[in-house]
Amino acid sequence: MNPSNPTPDPSSRAGHAAGSVPRPGDTAFVQVAVATVWVRPGLDRAGIDDPSLTVPVDLDAWNSAMDETETLRWLTGRLETQALLGARVIVDEVDGQWARIVVTDQLSPRDPRGYPGWVPLAQLSVDPGFAQAAASSPTATVTASRSRLMEDAEGTSPGIEVSFGTVLPVLGHTGAVVELAVPGGGTQYLPEADVVVREPGEVPPTPTVEEVIATGERFLGLRYLWSGMSAWGFDCSGFTHSVFRHHGITIPRDAGPQLNGSGFPRVEREDLRRGDLVFFSEGPGSPEIRHVALYLGDDLIIHAPNAPRTIAVESLSGYDVKDEYAGAVRVIQQ
């Protein structure tokens, strides 16, 4: 950790009052809107990354602090992924104020249990009550780009904003709001209009290609963020992973495994259809996959291109000026 930018002692965090500070071997849950997962502790920049390390996080402030392209590009190779509020993690190691974890709902060939990396310990909570609710209760999945938790059903005490894709256990309904369990925070509420509620074991209906594309198009103009997995910013594979997950389809977290480890059938370039995933390599013929996009037909793709840009639609051939096209898979068989 930067000596000039120490993360406050996790024992001082109010969020741990409802749960307990994780130890190695524990199953814990993310108790902030978005936990950013780092390659290792101590990489953060004083005065820039602080808002992503606190409890609660302030990702609008973090984005504002990275208003220059090079400041944003600096994250490349230093971050692993992100995990949303309520995500289950396994704690492997605690090093001071940091925890080495795996995020169990993100598939990765790097660990059969989930996606590995480091997060501030204070952003996690061991909460048996939440764990029990998560295992047995209906769930609410946030369908709005962002929604704001409320500490009371009347909405007089607003809480934190949460992202599209956040999944929390449902404890009940009160008027036009849904009562939810929140790790480390007891009971809070979201507007019923911002979520979809499903019974235990219920999966989303099989989507059409057009439904998947429509979900992706909702995020046009959202900034690129290396490792991003939320409505505050996506990277290329975080975008495709999140769009398909929203429709109940699980694909690996990263672009290379989405092509080579997903099990979906390969598609020749001349046979591409709307909704296919298309991939690009580190160079012509390279086995290393660096990028993924969602094919829209008519030589168009929608994707999160790179740090200076936002999620956009552009031509596949116009993007592939270096002849790095590496293949495609068909996720939806229609």
Identify the CA nearest to 39 among candidates 12, 74, 13.
Answer: 74
Is 16 one of the annotated active-site residues of the chain? no
Q: Are 220 and 210 in contact (CB under 8 A)?
A: no
- Spatial separation of the C-alpha atoms in residues 83 and 230, rounded to whole Å: 8
How many CB atoms sit inside 10 A of residue 132's CB? 12
Looking at 16, 241, 246, 291, which residue is catalytic? 291
Across 151-284, where does the E strand assignment appear? 158-163, 167-174, 177-182, 186-191, 195-198, 229-230, 233-234, 277-281
- Give the 3-state secondary structure of residue 78: coil
Looking at 16, 241, 246, 303, which residue is catalytic? 303
- Spatial separation of the C-alpha atoms in residues 3 and 92, rounded to whole Å: 24
Is 303 one of the annotated active-site residues of the chain? yes
Looking at 16, 236, 241, 246, which residue is catalytic? 236
Is 236 one of the annotated active-site residues of the chain? yes
Identify the CA nearest to 90 among candidates 105, 100, 99, 101.
Answer: 101
| Enzyme catalytic residues | 236, 291, 303
